[in-house]
Amino acid sequence: MTHDWLRTFQEVRARSAQLCAPLALEDYVPQPVADVSPPKWHLAHTTWFFDTFVLRALGKQTVQPPAYAYLFNSYYEAEGCRVDRRRRGDLSRPTVAEIMSYRASVERAMESLLADDLAPHVLELIELGLQHEEQHQELLVADIKYILGNNPLEPLYDSLGRGPLDLQSEHRPTPAAGREDWLAWPGGMASIGHEGPGFSFDNERPRHDVFVAPYELRNALVSNAEYQAFVDDGGYERFQHWHAEGWDWIRAQSIRAPLYWQRAPRAEGWVHYTLSGPREIHPDAPASHVSYFEAEAFCHWAGYRLPTEQEWELTAERARWGERWEWTSSSYSPYPGFRRAEGAVGEYNGKFMVNQMVLRGGSFATPAGHARKTYRNFFHPPLRFQYTGIRPARIL
């Protein structure tokens, strides 16, 4: 059966707009920190991607105003100069209305293109653009939360229920029984990486053999109650649990708990900001918004360790995953035989393979069908704005 690429394109593009529908106009512009991009920028950048790497590459007439290549290029050196990432929040112009008009124009051009029979290499570019937009949809959710969570009013994201997210999933408890369920691997050679039909990013390939020693992974993520025990035991005051860089980070930033946690006013315990507004922390919900440094320190305190990405992938089919992005102890580096693609799209993943850690899994913010067991997400160790959590591992 032939895939309906026109329908897929329309559905993916519509979801980006739906994620932004609950926002006030003023919410589209702020950029509290460099790692968080304004929603307006996400909407423009994902459109620029199709305009530049599909329409222009095919010699089609693009509708891109001259300044947009400078304003909405993210990191593609082959595409020339771009606005500094830290200044995306300064872009009060072009207006939200102008960005929406740009999106509509590019969508019309893409829909016209998709009405024809296209060569396989063109469809591959379009699929990359769709997967790229789904990545940005997940970033949109995390960035919107950071923008609203840094507002002193701590506003609700979707008070009228206009968005596509199941907001209860953000803080839904998981069965406590999984904390006693450990998934064992006896050790030996195994194959890692993507192979066969279906989309994958270049950093998931090629599939290759590795030796993995015996281990166990827990079938449940670390809960809020478990992480709170670490906090209450002075985990952020005891250097013994931390990497030196992590210790320097928490002291320099005065960090004493996960992102969004705060002491409950006039009561014992903790509350945290969610897209549904401030809530008491549910003890059985997975801990979230922790950095690699925090995940590693917790595991040291609790007598666990973080899994490698190879261990995670080998156990994924038996594990409950998809609630949080899960830190691994693996640095982000190329698989044996990895080759960057030619041209600007070759900058997509390969040039970031240094000083970052691999995460596996997904979260409620991950678009349906976008996650898979070979997916390699990656972030710098201090970052925690994404829905990140902890899965314990131990030696068998």
Q: What domains appear along the chain, each with residue ranges and CATH number?
A: 5-161 (1.20.120), 169-395 (3.90.1580.10)
Lowest mean per-residue pLDDT among 178-187, 207-216, 301-310, 316-325: 178-187
- Decide if pLDDT at 257 tops 90: yes
Give the whole-angstrom CA distance, residue 69 versus residue 64.
8
- Residues 25-45: pLDDT tens digits? 999 999 999 999 999 999 999
- Decide if pLDDT at 61 tops 80: no
- Decide if pLDDT at 62 tops 80: no
Strand 270-274 relative to strand 261-263: parallel, antiparallel, unpaired? antiparallel
Give the whole-number percent of the chain exceeding pLDDT 90: 90
- Decide if pLDDT at 113 tops 90: yes
| Cβ atoms of 103 and 51 closer than 8 Å | no
- Helix locations, the chain, DSSP H: 5-20, 39-50, 68-72, 96-114, 120-149, 224-232, 244-253, 292-302, 309-315
Residues forming a β-bridge with 223: 286
Element (H, E) at 330: strand 325-331
Strand 277-280 relative to strand 270-274: parallel, antiparallel, unpaired? antiparallel
Give the per-residue pLDDT at 176. 77
| 0.95 exceeded by pTM | yes
Give the per-residue pLDDT at 1. 59
**Burial letters for 168-205: b for 16+ Cβ neighbours within 10 Å, e otherwise?**
eebbeebeeeebeebbebeeeeeebbbeeeeebbbbbb
Give the per-residue pLDDT at 264. 83
Compare 265 and 356 and report the one with higher pLDDT.
Answer: 356
* Cβ-based neighbour number of residue 343 at 10 Å: 11
* Cβ-based neighbour number of residue 155 at 10 Å: 15
- Decide if pLDDT at 266 tops 80: no
The mean pLDDT of 101-119, rounded to a whole number, is 95
| Cβ atoms of 306 and 183 closer than 8 Å | no
Average pLDDT along the chain = 95
Give the whole-angstrom CA distance, residue 305 versus residue 297.
9
- Decide if pLDDT at 179 tops 90: no
| Cβ atoms of 43 and 100 closer than 8 Å | yes
- Decide if pLDDT at 267 tops 80: no
- Residues 218-248: pLDDT tens digits? 999 999 999 999 999 999 999 999 999 999 9
| Cβ atoms of 308 and 328 closer than 8 Å | yes
Give the whole-angstrom CA distance, residue 90 versus residue 84.
10
Omega before residue 206 within 30° of 0, cis: yes
- Decide if pLDDT at 268 tops 90: no
pLDDT band at 265 (very low <50, low <70, confident <90, very high): confident
